[in-house]
Structure 1
Amino acid sequence: MSDAPKVRGAIPREKEKKGEIKFITVANKGTREQLELLTAMKNIVSRHLPNMALDYISRIVYDTVYHESLLLINCKDNKPFGGICFRPFPTQGFVEIVFCAVDSTQQVQGFGSYLMQHLKKEIQSRGIYHILTYADNQAIGYFMKQGFHKHVTLNKERWQGYIKDYVEATLMECVLHKNVEDYTDVPSTIKKQRDALQSLIGQVSKSEIRPGLTCFKQGIPKIKIEEIPGLKETGWKPDIH
């Protein structure tokens, strides 16, 4: 059995490599294909948010000017089963997530996390490094797992008045970092960090295996701490407790 740590999004990442799923960004330009994909997205959101007015969902998802949708597609039938509807504010330096949903039959497999990773990659490619969203109480946990926090660091003058306020929802922010090469390849990033850390540890630590103490077998009940072989070489001093 592999001792590699489980990484959020490992299952969908493997499916993407096998060509079973794909991610596409759709802006409504009125083509039949776009309308069919966005209709599927609208239906997913309406099922996910049954208390939200359908006309409002439709107005946002079908918007031809401001909003786009990153869709998670099943390659077998070319139909979406998840997506994120977002609005970029490039001059203000942020993107607003309006809707984020995955079909209930596909949840708890990491698709939601991997979908967010793809959005981060897309946003980063546009030179934008802040994502804002209003999360209801049920969604706060999900967004926190994706690196969002309740303390918004983006200057308030950059976003206030640009995004819609929601009742009983919490404004959350995710800050992207330029030094992350690919947000969809988290395991590779983690491995590089671990390798760098191990290299630094190796540079400052001295490792040497010594034989165990034999004094107790010889009938000596105790010895002084400083007499333990190799202890002084580690930097230990009598005044260290």
Structure 2
Amino acid sequence: MCTRKKLADKDLRNENANHSEEQQYGTRLRLLNNDGSRDNLILLTGIKELFATALPHMPAQYIARVVYDRNHYSLAIVRDPVKVVGGICYRPFLEKSFIEIVFFAVDSDQQVKGYGTKLMNYFKDYIKDTFNITQFLVYADDFACTLIPKVKYRQIRQILEKQKQAVKNKIAQTCKPPIIYRGLECFKNGVKSVDPMSVPGIRISGWTPQLEKQAKDIKRMSHYLVMKEIFNRLKSHPSSLPFHEPVNGDDVPDYYDIIKDPMDLSTVSKRMENNRYRSLLEFAIDMQKIWNNAKIYNKSDTIFYKSAVELEGIFREAMFLKGVRL
């Protein structure tokens, strides 16, 4: 049983001055427990109805039993006079040093006003400051939450804004005024190319050909290894042999009359090594052309058509697992 501690009604209107409705009707926080008083029972009934509406698959009898249980407490956002628009029902386990959150809901019409975040932040600070407890258990979400003692959760937005501004100020202090150089005049005289390191400003910037090569290698590494893995798996498959090289037009005279956008594994490989694919999707589009072309040109009872279908299935599954849907 938790020691009874009153949380004074908190007027939220100052923090939501942009919402004329809140200025007009008033919004406050209430800490509720079934102490038998008429006012608390009225608000507990309101929060019970809120949970029942927000959690339609939860038995109404169970919600009522928990909300009215004297071992459970509720922190509610109440809009004057007695309209409950958000609430958290919880049970303290002081001997175990954790709080169990049983229900948490906000009226669907009020969610756009940020009541959910505001309510949770007040709840975190209240529990942390009142009971010196930093562990939450939330069965519905199947995870436990740990509070950071030094953080004032009601001030998170202001803290982040200050940090953001501090970073901007630091960047501004370290940035130097831009140096503008005259354009190169040598090209007017017929010069076709110049050594990049001879261009004013290039050397000062710290750029080198080696840095550019490293940047390109790093950029492609994020998806190159994935492409290579999938490509090698398909190329080594016994059914892939007909697709290793471009179709020979001498052997199949009408092929290029029918197939206007040919593709094969050797072409895909060259494009991979030349860093032509900027994303997995671009790689997937070329690979898919191989299977599509084979199904367009060949009849469904041929080995080429059946091989294309088999490889396409393997390929599409591999791409799906990497987050690319075709």
Match of 1:84 among 80, 84, 88: 88
Give the corresponding residue for 2:316. none
Give the corresponding residue for 2:72. 67
Q: Tell me whether 1:189 sits opposite 2:152 in the alignment.
A: no
Give the corresponding residue for 1:42. 48
Cα–Cα, structure 1 residues 70 and 13, in superposed 2: closer, same or farther, change >3 Å?
A: farther
Segments of structure 2 that go 5 or more residues without pairing to the other structure are 1-14, 213-326
Tell me the amino acid that sits aligned with residue 157 of structure 2: P
Give the corresponding residue for 1:174. 145
Aligned-pair distance for 1:21?
Answer: 1.3
TM-score, length-normalised on structure 1? Answer: 0.66
Asked whether the 8 Å contact 1:15–1:21 carries over to 2, the reply is no
Structure with a larger share of its residues in helix: 2
Match of 1:23 among 19, 29, 33: 29
Tell me the amino acid that sits aligned with residue 179 of structure 1: K
Partners of 1:237 and 1:80 in 2: how far apart? 64
The residue matched to 2:109 in structure 1 has which SS?
Answer: helix
Give the corresponding residue for 1:93. 97
Segments of structure 1 that go 5 or more residues without pairing to the other structure are 1-8, 136-169
How many positions carry a matched residue from both structures?
Answer: 195
Partners of 2:56 and 2:99 in 1: how far apart? 25
**RMSD, aligned CA:** 3.2
Partners of 2:129 and 2:23 in 1: how far apart? 21
Cα–Cα, structure 1 residues 104 and 199, in superposed 2: closer, same or farther, change >3 Å?
A: closer
The residue matched to 2:78 in structure 1 has which SS?
Answer: strand
Tell me the amino acid that sits aligned with residue 83 of structure 2: K
Partners of 1:176 and 1:13 in 2: how far apart? 30
Instruction: Between the two structures, name the one with larger relative contact order (CA 8 Å, sep ≥ 6).
Output: 1
Asked whether the 8 Å contact 1:44–1:101 carries over to 2, the reply is yes
Which segment is superposed worse, 31-40 or 101-110? 101-110
Give the corresponding residue for 1:226. 197
Cα–Cα, structure 1 residues 44 and 236, in superposed 2: closer, same or farther, change >3 Å?
A: same
Partners of 1:96 and 1:227 in 2: how far apart? 68
TM-score, length-normalised on structure 2? Answer: 0.51
